[in-house]
Structure 1
Amino acid sequence: MRLAFPWAFLLLLPVLKMVVDHLRKADSRALRFSSLAAFRKVPRTARQRFMPALFWSQFCCLLLLIFAAARPQIKDLTQGIPKEGIAIELVVDISSSMDISMPFEETTMSRMEVTKQVVERFVSERQNDLIGLITFARYADTICPLTLSHNSLLFYLRDLQI
């Protein structure tokens, strides 16, 4: 974390002086009586009970305002959005016809497994593109909206079932 205006903490000096003055005045406000026994029985009003809390809450507010004036900043950890790329919506058939076996790279797999492998390769080569996933059998269903998070898209792709 860094501060845009660290010199704002110089404003703490008058605030600290205010606290010292307040604490000194608390001792000097007393009236001198020979006996305080009669006054100890008098109940304190709500105002008398909450006056110290008012001062300290104002003090805390001033501290927070001074901290805000210093403008604390955290290094930007967000990932930049690429400026170039296209939007691609992948449409995958999940009907029972995708369960049929077919030869692929010297083995035999279901069409669905072949589709998953081909789409994974395709997505890994499209770094700056928005890619989404729609499946259909009888009705179309959006599985993953257009996204730059290709890992989440691949998670949904691997989870596809017929």
Structure 2
Amino acid sequence: MEFANKEYLLLLLLLIPYLLWYFFRRKGSEPTMRMADTYVYEYAPKSWRMRLIHLPMLLRCLTYALVVMVLARPQTDTPSGADYSNGINIMLAMDVSTSMLSQDVAPNRMEVAKDVANEFISARPSDNIGLTIFAGEAFTQCPMTTDHASLLNLLQNVNTDLASHGLIEDGTAIGMGLANAVNRLKDIKAKSKVVILLTDGSNNKIEISPMTAAEIAKKFGIRVYTIGLGTDKNPNVPNQMVGEIDYKTLQDIARTTNGEFYRAQSRQELSQIYKDIDKLEKAKISGGSFGRRYEAYMPFALLALFSFLMEIVFRIAVFKRIP
């Protein structure tokens, strides 16, 4: 058991001066009676009232102590420690530029990428998985988590509206997308750390080059699996200029980080790629599921109420004093 407000326990020290005051005051205020001889009372048995004369005071102290403990907020928890599972740490980095609306992979690249990623996540319930999305800029859609229900919900909300509506800059910032994913993985203490980077274009932003991000990933022991999604056909994306996939850069990223490069020209190929990645060696990870704490003040509060009522009963009915 732990106390959320430990500082309140210092109030228990006030019991010391109270007890000193109680006994000194009692000693100085006890009634006296003159008698010629007290021999007859020397061996007289004490009644139970005399033996329990200090009970009301003890109950009062107990009530006070219990109230202080309630204020200190006692808490209990389930056995603490990480929930270790047989899995790996995976960060999905997904391109959401407007070119992902191309219908060469029916119904379009974006929907296929989301559906296959959904299947992949659902098939790995013990893994710690997160999601980064990028166009001309990159940001984390979902941090690393084992709460796959929340992750899948956020994945379903991913679309190209951010870029097409100008909420973020359009384009293909592969380097920034990879760097964002690496940043989420770099501090995790685990042997298996993986980024699955999916894009349908070439890097056209210079803030962070793809190879610089790849070198950073290599430094932190992160393998990067790159996927080029799309066919060589002219993509059907109205009013948009779509660049060709930079296969060489994707291959170099994978080679630098000891990963693999894949090319997907259909839903079936993309699904098979994720199945191949699904065969990665598994290692124990921390799922971040620690013991939960629960408020435990109620037993102390009920006991304090009972003690208070008992003091009143004893003081009024049993130890009532006549002036």
TM-score where L is the length of structure 1: 0.52
User: 1:118 maps to what in 2?
Assistant: 116
1:13-162 equivalent positions in 2, closer than 5 A: 58-63=61-66, 76=78, 81-103=83-105, 108-162=106-160
- Unaligned runs of 5+ residues in structure 2 are 1-21, 23-28, 32-57, 161-323
In the aligned structure 1, how far is the partner of 2:133 from the partner of 2:97? 9
How far apart are residue 72 of structure 1 and its match? 8.5
In the aligned structure 2, how far is the partner of 1:66 from the partner of 1:156? 43
SS across alignment from 2:117: helix
User: 1:9 maps to what in 2?
Assistant: none
Aligned residue pairs: how many? Answer: 107
Q: Which residue identity lines up with residue 63 of structure 2 in the other structure?
A: C
In the aligned structure 1, how far is the partner of 2:144 from the partner of 2:119? 18
How far apart are residue 157 of structure 1 and its match? 0.5
In the aligned structure 2, how far is the partner of 1:158 from the partner of 1:77? 35
Q: Which residue identity lines up with residue 97 of structure 2 in the other structure?
A: S
Contact 2:85 2:127 in 1 (8 A): no
User: Structure 1 vs Structure 2: percent identity of aligned residues?
Assistant: 33
- C-alpha change, 1:73 and 1:133, in structure 2 (3 Å) is closer
- C-alpha change, 1:145 and 1:57, in structure 2 (3 Å) is farther
How far apart are residue 156 of structure 1 and its match? 0.9
In the aligned structure 1, how far is the partner of 2:69 from the partner of 2:135? 61
- Unaligned runs of 5+ residues in structure 1 are 1-21, 23-28, 32-54
TM-score where L is the length of structure 2: 0.28
RMSD across aligned C-alpha pairs, in angstroms? 3.9
